[in-house]
Amino acid sequence: MIIEPRMRGFICLTSHPKGCEQNVKNQIKYVKSKGHIEGAKKVLVIGASTGFGLASRITSAFGSDAATIGIFFEKPPVEGRPGSPGWYNSAAFENEAHKAGLYAKSINGDAFSNEVKRQTLDLIKADLGQIDLIIYSLASPVRVHPVTGVLHRSVLKPIGTTYTNKTVDFHTGIVSEISIEPCQGDDIANTVAVMGGEDWAMWIDALKAENLLAKGATTVAYSYIGPSLTEAVYRKGTIGRAKDHLEATAFAITDSLKSIEGKAFVSVNKALVTQASSAIPVIPLYISLLYKIMKAEGIHEGCIEQIQRLYQDRLFTGKPIPTDDKGRIRIDDWEMRDDVQEKIATLWKQATTESLPEIGDLEGYRKDFLNLFGFEFEGVDYRADAEEMVSVSSIV
């Protein structure tokens, strides 16, 4: 079967197994090129199949020779329909890890559920004993609460007033004005329930209760801040409330881990093209200007460069982990540099359908988006029959 990108709105319905494999191999190669990191050896990654979580798993395994357990929610391929990119990424990761002699197993299911937590605890008990690093990198639009059974849906909306700004449709390149109505009713509470810190704390409580955390265990969750341009819809919007909650949860978890000298951190990462961020209005325009400027300055990073730097320059230096005045690790430091943000503010005013191809990196955006699904990688023959990828026994 020849697999091509099939777009519907902001999503791509198909994904390419060979391209996803190439993506994973490229990331492994990058991590290896940066040398050994004296990091954690037994690592649990929750949200391990794409984006920052996949990059974290790869950095642990191929930067520190760590044994990894990955949790994710992906679709395996079935007759006539390709699997989701995260499934192919994980299959490719496990194959590469096993070839390198590294322990790697995965659980494909709902991380919010008691069942998947139970399965994970049993797997750790059976295979690894104790964990010393837990990366929490879930991005989900929904969560079924494991205690109440209520289905919460997160929304990406401003709070209080309508937000109006420019945005771009990165498929067509058309820049237009968009208005987003403020959230209503339980939107904030629902968004906090899905993307806040409650589930993170539940994971850590469950691991601690069964003595599966090593002394000095560290856990890290990912957050975002961004510029004032996007504040109303991001950091001061519904999703921002969830991130506030996530960040506050880090302190609560650190308190709960006193007896084992464990610590919880939030790392604030750079804005990048992922399935989640493409769906937020305004953000794609911001990212296309950001990419252009950061590439020109030689400071552009993707997920793997971000996470490799997080590990090497922040988490595992042998010194105390540097944080901002709110206790957060900042790996968005280059994105937030004054000179970068000043340039974006200027270009933002100039951005039109006509000017954007010149002043922004729409092409880079589009390529990164297709890369998420395994398309447009060098070294992959997309005209060849895409091999059926069979099931991988270490993914249950």
Would you list the DSSP string of 168-185?
EETTTTEEEEEEEPPP-T
Q: CA 148 to CA 143: how far, in whole Å?
A: 11
Residue 220, token pair as written in the block: 């890290």
- Mode of pairing for the β-strands spanning 142-144 and 151-153: antiparallel
Residue 112 binding: pick among ligand NAI, Na ion, none (C-beta 5-8 Å cut-off by kind)? ligand NAI
Unique residue bearing structure tokens 């997309």: 382
Map residue 195 onto helix, strand or coil: helix
CB of 72 to Na ion, least distance (A): 8
Asked if 110 interacts with ligand NAI (CB under 6 A), we say yes
Single out the catalytic residue among 163, 222, 234, 286: 234
Nearest to ligand NAI of 47, 262 (CB atom): 47
Among the listed residues 321, 314, 217, the one whose alpha carbon sits nearest the alpha carbon of residue 269: 314
Q: Is 226 annotated as a binding residue?
A: no
| Neighbouring residues of 236: CB distance < 8 A, sequence distance ≥ 6 | 158, 159
Nearest to ligand NAI of 163, 222 (CB atom): 222
| Neighbouring residues of 330: CB distance < 8 A, sequence distance ≥ 6 | 267, 268, 323, 324, 336
Asked if 74 interacts with ligand NAI (CB under 6 A), we say yes
- The footprint of ligand NAI on residues 129-148 (CB under 6 A) is 137-140
Asked if 272 interacts with ligand NAI (CB under 6 A), we say yes
Interface characters, 274-313, with ligand NAI (x: CB under 6 A) = xxxx------------------------------------
CB 45 within 8 A of CB 83: no
Asked if 271 interacts with ligand NAI (CB under 6 A), we say yes
Is 382 assigned a catalytic role? no
Asked if 52 interacts with ligand NAI (CB under 6 A), we say yes
Nearest to Na ion of 136, 316 (CB atom): 136
CB under 6 A: which stretch of 27-35, 70-78, 96-104, 361-369 binds ligand NAI?
A: 70-78
Interface characters, 204-233, with ligand NAI (x: CB under 6 A) = ------------------xxx---------
Interface residue with Na ion, options 39, 53, 77, 364 (CB under 5 A): 53
Residue whose CB is nearest to ligand NAI in the complex, by number: 51
Interface residue with Na ion, options 17, 51, 85, 86 (CB under 5 A): 51
Q: Is 243 annotated as a binding residue?
A: yes
Q: Is 74 annotated as a binding residue?
A: yes
Among the listed residues 202, 207, 73, the one whose alpha carbon sits nearest the alpha carbon of residue 148: 202
Distance from CA of residue 375 to its chain's centroid? 19
- The footprint of Na ion on residues 10-49 (CB under 5 A) is 47
- Mode of pairing for the β-strands spanning 42-46 and 131-136: parallel
Q: CA 53 to CA 73: how far, in whole Å?
A: 12
Residue 185, token pair as written in the block: 């009713």
Q: How far is CA 273 from CA 158, 266, 285, 292, 361, in A?
A: 21, 20, 11, 13, 12
Q: Is 47 annotated as a binding residue?
A: yes
Q: Which residues form the interface with ligand NAI (CB under 6 A)?
A: 47-53, 71-74, 86, 110-112, 137-140, 222-224, 269, 271-272, 274-277
Residues catalogued as catalytic: 234
